[in-house]
Amino acid sequence: MKLDMFMCIIFLAIMSSLGFVCFDILKLIIFVYLLFVGVRGLRYKLNIRIKKSKVFCTAFVLLFFMTFLTGFTYKNPKKPIPVLTYHRVNDEVYDAKVPTVSVKQFEKQMKYLKKRGYQTITEKELLDYYSGRKIKLPKKPILITFDDGWRDNYENAYPILKKYGFTATIFLATGKIGEDEYLTWDMVKEMYLNGIAFGGHTRNHINLSKVDLDTAEKEIKWSFEDIEKNLGVKPLSFCYPYGGGDLNKSIQHIVKKSGFQIAFASYNYGINMGNVNIMAVRRILMPRFNKLHKLEMFLLLW
């Protein structure tokens, strides 16, 4: 049993890091595994014979079926493109609810990416590539994103990005712009004029899966309109706050109908292969836990 459990954990880690499964599928696999352990215990207790192969075959069929629900197609694999997710970058403020990296750690990570030969691409380039349009990408492309629109993105992250010649996309909870600790529209405009892209993140940073569809539609449209009004351009991308609704087909449809051409997930995580759901692009969360940074970067960006 211990060996089986160890192999299951290794299998889940590999599948997750490669982006073949999202969190919902991981939960399904864990459920099937626990079911198998329970059935095996019952088998020994009641002396009933149940073939292990049948349980694993059932798990595989369920995995195969569930991956289609998240946009996995198992065909024409393309260049894997990692998308990093950041929130706050600072040394002074720590909120356990908001993933934060220190300024020093952020610079180390950007230096690591530069040293490994990574070059940032834009959300438009990623969209074109996975939509089948002809586009030449760098040998090792990567997209860097920030959620919410924190002021330290401008004060701390932006100078480091410029230092290493990187671009990024920042998803704005537009109703918070101008509040304490958040960006101002003047900061947004300055960064936009220097290569930083901006996308929607609802107006009030709500979990779209916990409100009715009418409210969700208003929040999504408002974020699109706020960015268009203040930047003078139509935003290309959207990101689901808290990951709410990123695997919900109805919410994905609303996002697309509102004018966004590509959307980024928070719940559907991993590296993007050729199986990308354009309305739920996978991302890699970069947390505050500094000891895990190097391991995460090694496993996912080697």
Look up the pTM and report it: 0.74
User: Which DSSP string corresponds to 89-127?
Assistant: E-SS---TTS-EE-HHHHHHHHHHHHHTT-EE--HHHHH
Q: How confident is the model at residue 47 (pLDDT cuts 50, 70, 90)?
A: low
**Stretch(es) of the chain classified as CATH 3.20.20.370:** 83-301
Question: Residue 81 CA to chain centroid, in angstroms?
Answer: 12
Whether residue 124 contacts residue 148, with contact meaning beta carbons closer than 8 Å, is answered with no
The residue ranges of DSSP E strands in 121-236, in sequence order, are: 141-148, 169-172, 197-200
Fold of 83-301: TIM Barrel (3.20.20)
Confidence class for position 246, pLDDT limits 50, 70, 90? confident
Read off the pLDDT of residues 58-94 as tens digits, 9 standing for 90 and up: 666 665 555 544 444 444 456 788 999 999 999 987 7
d(CA 285, CA 267): 10
CA 33 to chain centre: 26
Per-residue pLDDT tens over the stretch 151-184: 999 999 999 999 999 999 999 999 999 999 999 9
Contacts of 51 (CB under 8 A, 6+ apart): none
Residue 83 φ then ψ, to 5°: -125, 115
